[in-house]
Structure 1
Amino acid sequence: MGQEEKTKWSLNTVLLLLLFIVFAVFALFPLVTLTIASFKPAQELMRFGLNLKISPEIFSFKNYTYLFSGKSLYLTWYTNSLIITAVFTGLCLFLSSMVGYGLAVYNFKFRNVIFALVLVTMMVPLEIIILPLYKLSISLKLINSMWGVILPFVVAPLPIFFFRQYASGLPKDFLDAARVDGTTELGTFFRIMMPLMAPAFSSMAILQALFAWNNFLWPLIVLRTNEQLTIPIGLATLLTPYGNNFDMLISGAVMAIIPILMVFLFFQRYFIEGMTAGGVKG
Structure 2
Amino acid sequence: MFVIISFIALFPILSLLLSSFRPSSELMRNGISIQFDISTLNLDNYTYIFTEAGKYWSWYGNSLIITVITIILSLFFSSMVGYALAVYDFKGRNFFFVLVLFILMVPFEILMLPLYQLMISWGFIDTYTGVMLPAIVAPIAVFFFRQYALGLPRELMDAARIDGSTEYGIFFRIMMPLMTPAFAAMAILQGLGSWNNFLWPLIILRSSDMFTLPIGLATLLTPYGNNYDVLIAGSMMTIIPFIILFVFFQRYFVEGLTVGGVKG
TM-score by length of 2: 0.96
1:124 to 83, 106, 117: 106
Partner residue in 1 for 2:14: 32
1:250 to 232, 241, 258: 232
RMSD between aligned alpha carbons? 1.3
Q: What is the one-letter code of the residue matched to 1:188?
A: I
In 2, the alpha carbon distance for the partners of 1:273 and 1:218 equals 31
Deviations 1:125-181, CA, capped at 9 Å, x for gaps = 111111110010011111001111001121011110110111111110010011111
Q: What is the one-letter code of the residue matched to 1:212?
A: S
Partner residue in 1 for 2:158: 176
Whether the 8 Å CA contact 1:34–1:250 is kept in 2: the answer is yes
In our comparison, the structure showing a higher alpha carbon Rg is 1
Residue 128 of structure 1 aligns to a residue whose secondary structure is helix
- Give the paired residue count: 261
Stretches (4+) displaced over 3 A: 53-56
2:141 to 149, 159, 163: 159
In 1, the alpha carbon distance for the partners of 2:66 and 2:133 equals 10
2:88 to 106, 111, 115: 106
Partner residue in 1 for 2:182: 200
Unaligned runs of 5+ in 1: 1-18
2:167 to 185, 190, 195: 185
Shift of 1:70: 4.0
Unaligned runs of 5+ in 2: none
Shift of 1:55: 3.4
Shift of 1:59: 1.8
Alpha-carbon spacing, 1:131–1:45, altered in 2? closer, same or farther (3 Å): same
Alpha-carbon spacing, 1:24–1:71, altered in 2? closer, same or farther (3 Å): closer
Shift of 1:68: 2.2
Shift of 1:241: 1.4
In 2, the alpha carbon distance for the partners of 1:202 and 1:227 equals 31
In 1, the alpha carbon distance for the partners of 2:245 and 2:145 equals 20
Q: What is the one-letter code of the residue matched to 2:188?
A: I
Shift of 1:57: 2.8
- Identity of matched residues, %: 58
Map 1:33-182 onto structure 2 (within 5 A). Answer: 33-182=15-164
In 1, the alpha carbon distance for the partners of 2:73 and 2:18 equals 37
Shift of 1:50: 1.6
Deviations 1:81-134, CA, capped at 9 Å, x for gaps = 011110001100000000001111111111111111001000111111111100
